[in-house]
C-alpha cells in the first residue's frame, strides 16, 4: 500500500505512460505522481480480470519488437485542488505493481487499456460498468473533504465484501426449483384466504404426505453420503410456492378450520393453515390502521411457547410468557437486553386493547429431539413487566389467562403426565393392564360412564393364528443384510420386493399406502432392522374405555403422528366360507371400503414421470380374522365413516410360510385421548341382488358429517 505523506496533490494529475523496462510504476509513485490520483478512476478493460496475477507489473521497452507490448495510460477526472485540503489522508489502494497481466498467445495483439472519465464520454465499443451507470455525474461537496469516496468503496457487485454505504445492498436469492406448470392445487383464491375444517385437514394431509416422501428420499441419500436434509422445510416451501395452503388472510381470534386441541409436529404445518405464520419467531402479529389522526399499530395474533426460554408453564389456564430477542443462535442463553419492539410491542398493544391471542404450547415427547405443538385456544394478556433474567439481562414478561368456556387441551396433557408419573390415579380405572403383561406397554381399562366392570371374556394375544398354513408357490428366503436393511439399497431383497423404496421413514412412519408392504422375516440376519415395524408390537400407551352409545372403544394417552403404526388385528384367521354370523369382532378384507387419497402427489413432488402407486389393498387370498375369542386391542376399535385410522396389509415370510397381517396406521395426527376408529366397510351384495347399491347390515352411529348410515 502507498504510504507517502509528503506526496503533493495536483489539481490535474499528469498522464503516466510506462514505456521503459528499467523503470517500473514504483519509480513513478515515488515521484509523487501516482499518489496524486485521489479520485476514482475508470479502466475499461476488454480483458477479463482473471488475466491478472499477484506478481510485479513490469513493462517492456518499445524498442523491443514483442507482441506483448502494452501501453497503459491513466488520466484522472478533473477536480479542483480545493477539494483536497487534507493532504495527509491516504486511501487503501492496491498498487498496480501487485497485478500481473496475462497476455494472449499466438499472433493476437493484446487490446489496450483505455481510460475515460467516470461518466463519459466513452470511446466506441465501450460502456460504463458498476457503479458508474448513472446518467448524472457525481458531484462532490467542495466544502467537505471527507465526502470524497475512496476507491475501495467501488467494488464489483459480485464481490462477497460489504456493499458501500451509498449503494442499496441486494439480498442473495436462493435458487428455486423450476415450478411444475402442470400442477394444480385445486384451492380457489377465496379458499386460500379463508379455510374450513375439510380444507385444513386436506392441506395438512397433503403436506405430511409430501414430507414423508422427501424424508424417504433423504434417508436413501443419507445411506450413501451421510447427509440428511430437513424434509419438513423442503415440503413446507414447496407447498407454499404451489399454493397448497389456506387461511392466508391474517386475523385475530379463531382461525377457520383449526380446532382447539389440534397437534402439529412441524411449525410449517401451522404456517400452511394460518394458525401461526412465522416459521421461526415465537410471536406473530398484524398491522392495524388506527384512526385518521393515529399511526398504524401492531397487534399480536398468536404466540408459540416453545420451551427454549424459562417460561413458567404448568398451569393449564395461565401462561407467563417471556418476550422475544436477546438470545443467541441456539436460544439457550440470553446474551443481551430485550427491546420493546416487534413482537414484544405487539403483546403490549394487545394488553392495552384487550385483544385475544392464540396460544400454541410447545411440548416435548419421549424423545428430547421431538417437539409437539398443541393449540390451546385463545388467551388474553393480563399483565406485562420487565425483570432481570437468570443471565442478568432485561427480559419482558407477559401474563396470559385462558378465555373461559373452551374445551380442555393443555389441561388434558397435564392430567396424562400426572397419570403416567403416578401423581394422581386415573378416574374410573378398572384394570391397569388389560393385556396382563402381554403388551410391552400396558393397556388400561376405564369406565367413566356406568357400572359395567369390563367387556366379555377373551384371550389376549398379539398374533394371528391360522387354521392351516398358507403355502407359498415357490420357497423363498429373506435378505442377507448384516446389521440392518439400508434405505434405497437394491442389494436387499426385502427392499426390492417393495419396489426399490424403503416403505418406512427412519422413525418407523409409513410413507405411502400400497397394495402390500413386505417386511423382513424373523429369519433375516438384520436383527435391529427398521423393516420390521409391525412385528415390534404396540409403541403407544393405549386405553380401552366405555363410550356413551357405542360400547367399548380405544384411544391413546400419547399423541400419534400421521403414518405411525398402532397395532395389528390379532385373532384367528378363518375361511371366508365359514359362518361369521353373530361375530361382531370379525375383520373381513373382502368388504368394500371407501376409497381415499393418502399418498403424496407426484406433481407436487416433481415426479410426474414416475409410476402411480395403487393405494388399494392387494391380498393373495381372502382373509377374515375373528377376534371374538382370541384377540388384542384392535377388537375394541369402533367404526367411523370419517376414520382417523386405516388398515394396510403387511406380510413377511418365515421358513417358507406366509404370515399375512392387517396393520393399522394413523391417517393424520391424532391428539391424546381421541378415540381411534377405522372404516368397517360394507359387505358386497350377492349376485342374486339386482340392486348394486351398498347397504351395511348395521346402523351407523359415528356422528360424522359424512356418515353413510350403515356398515358391516
> DSSP for 121-150?
---TT----TT---SSPP---TT-GGGSPP
Calculate mean pLDDT across residues 173-199. Answer: 77
Bridge partner list, 73: 17
Q: Which three cell numbers stand for residue 187?
A: 384451492
In tens, the pLDDT along 142-184 reads: 444 444 444 333 344 443 443 333 333 343 444 445 555 567 8
The CA distance from 377 to 394, in Å, is: 29
Mean pLDDT, the chain, rounded, equals 77
- Nearest to residue 447, comparing CAs of 565, 316, 552? 552
- Nearest to residue 458, comparing CAs of 566, 557, 558, 552? 552
**Burial level of 194, CB count in 10 A (0-12/13-18/19+)?**
middle
**425-712 CATH choice from 2.170.270.10, 1.20.1540.10, 3.40.1790.10, 3.30.300.30:** 2.170.270.10
Rounded to the nearest angstrom, the gap between the alpha carbon of residue 147 and the centroid of all alpha carbons in its chain is 48
Strand ranges (E), 81-123: 114-116
Cis peptide before 131 (omega within 30 of 0): yes
Q: Which three cell numbers stand for residue 237?
A: 416451501
**Burial level of 604, CB count in 10 A (0-12/13-18/19+)?**
buried
| Interior/surface letters 223-253, b for 16+ CB within 10 angstroms, e for the rest | eeeeeeeebbebbbebbbebbbbbbbeeebe
Look-up of cell digits 399480536 = 300
Fold of 250-420: PUA domain-like (2.30.280)
Give the domain ranges of the chain: 1-168, 250-420, 425-712
Helices (H), 370-443: 410-420
Look-up of cell digits 499518489 = 35
Max mean pLDDT among 203-212, 359-368, 613-622 falls in 203-212
pTM: 0.73
How confident is residue 712, by pLDDT bands cut at 50, 70 and 90? confident
- According to the model, what pLDDT value does residue 449 have? 92
| pLDDT, greater one: 436 or 423 | 436
Rounded to the nearest angstrom, the gap between the alpha carbon of residue 8 and the centroid of all alpha carbons in its chain is 62
**Burial level of 408, CB count in 10 A (0-12/13-18/19+)?**
middle
Look-up of cell digits 368397517 = 680
Q: Which three cell numbers stand for residue 323?
A: 418476550
| pLDDT, greater one: 610 or 91 | 610
3-state secondary structure 552-591: EEEEECCCECCCCEEEECCEEEECCCCCCCCCCCEEECCC
- According to the model, what pLDDT value does residue 583 have? 81
The CA distance from 274 to 58, in Å, is: 66
The total number of residues written for the chain in this structure = 712
Cis peptide before 121 (omega within 30 of 0): yes
Calculate mean pLDDT across residues 401-406. Answer: 95
The CA distance from 1 to 152, in Å, is: 12
**Burial level of 32, CB count in 10 A (0-12/13-18/19+)?**
middle
- According to the model, what pLDDT value does residue 23 have? 42
- 704-709 own/partner pairs: CB under 8 Å, 24+ apart: 704/640, 704/641, 704/642, 705/642, 706/641, 706/642, 707/641, 707/642, 708/594, 708/641
Calculate mean pLDDT across residues 451-479. Answer: 77
Max mean pLDDT among 6-15, 72-81, 149-158, 645-654 falls in 645-654
- According to the model, what pLDDT value does residue 579 have? 56
- 3-state SS assignment for residue 699: strand
CB atoms within 10 A of CB 594: 13
In tens, the pLDDT along 547-582 reads: 998 999 999 999 999 999 999 999 998 876 665 667
- The C-alpha angle 391, 395, 401, rounded to 5 degrees, equals 125
The CA distance from 271 to 235, in Å, is: 12
Max mean pLDDT among 15-19, 179-183, 622-626 falls in 622-626
Bridge partner list, 711: 698
How confident is residue 51, by pLDDT bands cut at 50, 70 and 90? very low
The CA distance from 597 to 601, in Å, is: 9
In tens, the pLDDT along 259-284 reads: 999 999 999 999 999 999 998 889 99
How confident is residue 25, by pLDDT bands cut at 50, 70 and 90? very low
Amino acid at each position: 500500500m502507498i504510504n507517502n505523506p509528503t506526496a503533493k496533490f495536483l489539481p490535474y494529475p499528469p498522464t503516466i505512460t510506462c514505456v521503459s523496462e528499467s523503470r517500473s510504476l514504483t519509480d513513478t509513485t515515488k515521484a509523487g505522481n501516482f499518489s496524486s490520483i485521489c479520485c476514482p478512476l475508470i479502466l475499461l478493460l476488454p480483458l477479463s480480470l482473471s488475466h491478472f496475477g499477484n506478481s510485479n507489473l513490469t513493462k517492456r521497452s518499445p524498442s523491443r519488437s514483442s507482441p506483448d507490448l502494452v501501453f497503459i495510460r491513466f488520466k484522472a477526472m478533473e477536480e479542483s485542488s480545493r477539494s483536497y485540503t487534507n493532504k495527509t489522508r491516504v486511501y487503501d489502494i492496491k498498487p498496480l505493481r501487485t497485478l500481473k497481466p496475462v497476455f494472449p498467445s499466438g499472433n493476437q495483439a493484446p487490446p489496450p487499456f483505455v481510460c475515460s472519465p467516470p461518466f463519459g464520454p466513452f470511446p466506441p465499443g465501450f460502456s460504463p460498468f458498476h457503479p458508474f451507470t448513472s446518467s448524472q455525474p457525481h458531484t462532490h461537496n467542495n466544502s467537505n473533504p471527507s465526502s470524497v469516496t475512496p476507491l475501495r468503496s467501488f467494488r464489483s457487485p459480485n464481490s462477497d465484501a460489504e456493499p458501500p454505504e451509498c449503494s442499496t445492498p441486494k439480498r442473495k436469492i436462493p435458487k428455486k426449483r423450476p415450478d411444475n406448470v402442470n400442477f394444480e392445487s385445486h384451492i380457489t383464491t377465496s379458499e386460500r384466504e379463508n379455510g374450513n375444517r375439510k380444507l385444513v385437514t386436506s392441506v395438512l394431509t397433503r403436506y405430511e404426505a409430501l414430507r414423508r416422501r422427501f424424508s424417504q428420499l433423504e434417508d436413501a441419500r443419507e445411506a450413501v453420503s451421510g447427509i440428511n436434509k430437513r424434509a419438513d422445510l423442503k415440503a413446507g416451501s414447496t407447498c407454499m410456492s404451489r399454493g397448497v395452503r389456506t387461511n392466508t388472510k391474517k386475523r385475530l381470534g379463531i382461525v377457520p378450520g383449526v380446532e382447539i386441541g389440534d397437534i402439529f409436529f412441524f411449525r410449517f404445518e401451522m404456517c400452511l393453515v394460518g394458525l401461526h405464520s412465522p416459521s421461526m419467531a415465537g410471536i406473530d402479529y398484524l398491522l392495524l390502521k388506527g384512526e385518521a389522526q393515529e399511526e398504524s399499530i401492531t397487534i399480536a395474533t398468536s404466540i408459540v411457547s416453545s420451551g427454549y426460554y424459562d417460561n413458567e408453564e404448568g398451569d393449564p389456564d395461565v401462561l407467563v410468557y417471556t418476550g422475544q430477542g436477546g438470545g443467541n443462535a441456539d436460544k439457550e442463553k440470553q446474551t443481551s437486553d430485550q427491546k420493546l419492539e416487534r413482537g414484544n410491542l405487539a403483546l403490549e398493544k394487545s394488553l392495552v386493547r384487550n385483544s385475544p391471542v392464540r396460544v400454541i404450547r410447545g411440548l416435548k415427547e419421549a424423545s428430547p429431539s421431538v417437539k409437539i405443538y398443541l393449540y390451546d385456544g385463545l388467551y388474553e394478556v393480563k399483565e406485562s413487566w420487565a425483570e432481570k433474567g437468570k443471565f442478568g439481562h432485561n427480559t419482558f414478561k407477559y401474563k396470559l389467562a385462558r378465555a373461559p368456556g373452551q374445551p380442555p387441551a393443555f389441561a388434558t396433557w397435564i392430567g396424562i403426565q400426572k397419570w403416567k408419573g403416578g401423581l394422581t390415579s386415573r378416574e374410573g380405572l378398572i384394570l391397569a393392564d388389560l393385556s396382563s403383561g402381554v403388551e410391552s406397554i400396558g393397556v388400561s381399562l376405564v369406565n367413566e360412564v356406568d357400572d359395567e366392570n369390563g367387556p366379555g371374556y377373551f384371550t389376549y394375544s398379539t398374533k394371528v393364528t391360522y387354521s392351516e398354513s398358507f403355502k407359498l408357490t415357490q420357497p423363498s428366503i429373506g435378505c442377507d443384510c448384516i446389521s440392518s436393511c439400508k434405505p434405497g439399497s437394491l442389494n436387499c431383497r426385502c427392499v426390492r420386493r417393495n419396489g426399490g423404496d424403503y416403505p418406512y421413514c427412519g422413525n418407523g412412519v409409513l410413507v405411502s399406502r400400497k397394495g402390500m408392504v413386505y417386511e423382513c422375516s424373523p429369519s433375516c440376519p438384520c436383527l435391529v432392522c427398521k423393516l420390521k415395524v409391525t412385528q415390534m408390537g404396540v409403541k403407544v400407551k393405549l386405553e380401552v374405555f366405555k363410550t356413551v352409545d357405542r360400547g367399548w372403544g380405544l384411544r391413546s394417552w400419547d399423541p400419534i403422528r400421521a403414518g405411525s403404526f398402532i397395532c395389528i388385528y390379532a385373532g384367528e384367521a378363518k375361511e371366508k366360507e365359514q359362518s361369521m354370523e353373530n361375530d361382531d369382532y370379525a375383520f373381513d378384507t373382502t368388504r368394500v371400503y371407501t376409497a381415499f387419497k393418502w399418498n403424496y402427489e407426484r406433481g407436487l413432488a416433481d415426479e410426474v414421470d414416475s409410476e402411480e402407486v395403487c393405494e388399494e389393498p392387494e391380498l393373495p387370498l381372502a382373509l377374515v380374522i375373528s377376534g371374538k375369542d382370541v384377540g388384542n386391542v384392535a377388537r375394541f376399535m369402533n367404526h367411523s365413516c370419517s376414520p382417523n385410522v386405516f388398515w394396510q396389509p403387511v406380510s413377511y415370510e418365515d421358513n417358507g410360510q406366509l404370515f399375512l397381517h392387517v396393520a393399522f396406521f394413523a391417517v393424520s395426527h391424532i391428539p391424546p385421548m381421541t378415540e381411534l376408529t377405522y372404516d368397517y366397510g360394507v359387505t358386497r351384495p350377492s349376485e342374486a341382488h339386482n340392486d348394486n347399491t351398498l347397504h351395511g347390515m348395521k346402523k351407523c352411529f359415528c356422528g360424522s358429517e359424512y356418515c353413510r348410515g350403515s356398515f358391516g
